[in-house]
Amino acid sequence: MTVTSELSYFPSTDGDLAYHDTGSGELVVLLHSGYVDHRLFEDQTPSLVAAGYRVIAPDTRGHGWSANASEPFRWADDLALLLRHLDAGPAVLAGVSMGGAIAGDTAIEYPELVRGIVLSGASVSDFQYTYDTTREIVAESARTLHSGDIEGWLKVFLRAMAGPFRTADDIEPAILDRLREMALHTIAKHTPGEHNWHVPMADTWPRVPKIDVPVLMVNGALDSPDLIADAELFAHTARNGRPVLVEGAAHFPNLEKPEEFNTLLLDFLREL
């Protein structure tokens, strides 16, 4: 996995934010899911760099090697500050789960910094689960995390990765090991019950029709049905959106089907 010595740091007003920056050419920003870090994209970064792109993969505040928050913050603001600090962009933003929500938020709030978005396992940041099995998983995740039951939480986290129709035993062990390592590293930065300083963006859905850059929604066909339905709605609500399903994958198609995910991403980039 990527080592910390390869990371750069942006000195924000509330601590240093880490990011991995490699390659040259048009900019692609890879935004990871919750509880992990930039290493989620180790199967994507080399392909993008080989195709002639510059790739920036940040660690979202409170994740990986980035500082924890000590005051209110928004994901989109942090990303905008980083891109402006680097005098970079407009960029294609590609995010998985939480990272997809960050990409969508940034396209809404900072359209001048974005020329295309790829959302995987995500729609908008104020999304609410409606599928019963997924709601149970989310509730159990919150309960175990708040109580400090890290092993219990980790089991729930890995179960969520498998989607509502499988178990973690159905996932390749190497993928589970990667997720476990990243999740434990991020969780170790926090204490049970600590204050969550993240400020969600509100009223995002009414602003989705204003997104006028190309949008690709990539969902695993085995993911939660409400996420898939919301991805289709997002794609058809934005001005230039398209939904795609990846068979045999759930919430992390970039891990389970990296070659197919990379092909979709590179084809999208070439069409811009």
Separation between Cα atoms, residue 33 and residue 96, nearest integer Å: 5
Q: How confident is the model at residue 3 (pLDDT cuts 50, 70, 90)?
A: very low
What does the pLDDT average to over 93-122? 96
Two structure tokens written together for 151: 């092993």
Environment class of 92 (CB within 10 Å of its CB; exposed 0-12, middle 13-18, buried 19+):
buried
Taking 70 as the threshold, does the pLDDT of residue 174 lie above it?
Answer: yes
| Average confidence (pLDDT) over 16-40 | 97
Which tens digits make up the pLDDT trace of 218-253? 999 999 999 999 999 999 999 999 999 999 999 999
Q: Can you name the residues that pair with 120 across neighbouring β-strands?
A: 96, 218
Q: Which of 127-131, 140-144, 235-239 has the lowest mean pLDDT?
A: 127-131
* Predicted pLDDT of residue 148: 83
Query: Which of 89-103, 188-202, 206-220 is predicted with the least confidence, judged by mean pLDDT?
Result: 188-202
Phi, psi of 261 (to 5 degrees): -60, -45
- Does the pLDDT of residue 4 top 70, yes or no? no
Tokens of 83: 């891109």
* HSE-up (13 A, CA, CB side) for residue 152: 13
Q: What is the pLDDT of residues 148-158, one digit of tens each?
A: 888 988 888 88
Per-residue pLDDT of 252-265, as tens digits, reads 999 999 999 999 99
Cα 131 to the chain's mean position, in Å?
A: 21
pLDDT at 5: 54
Determine contact, residues 118/94, Cβ cutoff 8 Å.
yes
Residue whose structure tokens are 């104020």: 126
Average of per-residue pLDDT across 106-132? 89
User: What are the backbone dihedrals phi and psi of residue 243, each rounded to the nearest 5 degrees, phi first?
Assistant: -95, 145
> In whole angstroms, what is the distance from residue 136 CA to residue 138 CA?
5
What is the number of other CB atoms lying within 10 angstroms of the CB of residue 3?
A: 7
Q: Is the pLDDT of residue 15 over 90?
A: yes
Average pLDDT, the chain: 93
Q: Measured between alpha carbons, how far is residue 160 from residues 27, 163, 180, 260 in Å?
A: 31, 5, 13, 21
CATH of domain 4-128+198-271: 3.40.50.1820
Which contiguous run of DSSP H or E holds residue 9? strand 8-12
The model carries a pTM of: 0.95
Q: How confident is the model at residue 110 (pLDDT cuts 50, 70, 90)?
A: very high
Distance CA(10)–CA(66), nearest Å, equals: 9
Query: What phi and psi, each to the nearest 5 degrees, are found at residue 19?
Result: -155, 150
pLDDT at 76: 96
pLDDT score, position 52 = 98
Confidence of residue 2 (pLDDT cuts 50, 70, 90): very low
What pLDDT shows up at residue 142? 78
Task: List, for residues 192-208, the tens digit of each pLDDT value.
Answer: 889 999 999 988 999 99
Closest CA relative to residue 79, chosen from 205, 98, 187: 98
DSSP string, 156-185: HHHHHHH-TTS-GGGS-HHHHHHHHHHHHH
Read off the tokens for 173: 């062990």
> CA 82, CA 179: separation in Å to the nearest integer?
25
Q: Cα 146 vs. chain centroid, distance in angstroms? A: 22
74: left (phi over 0), alpha (psi -120 to 50) or beta: beta
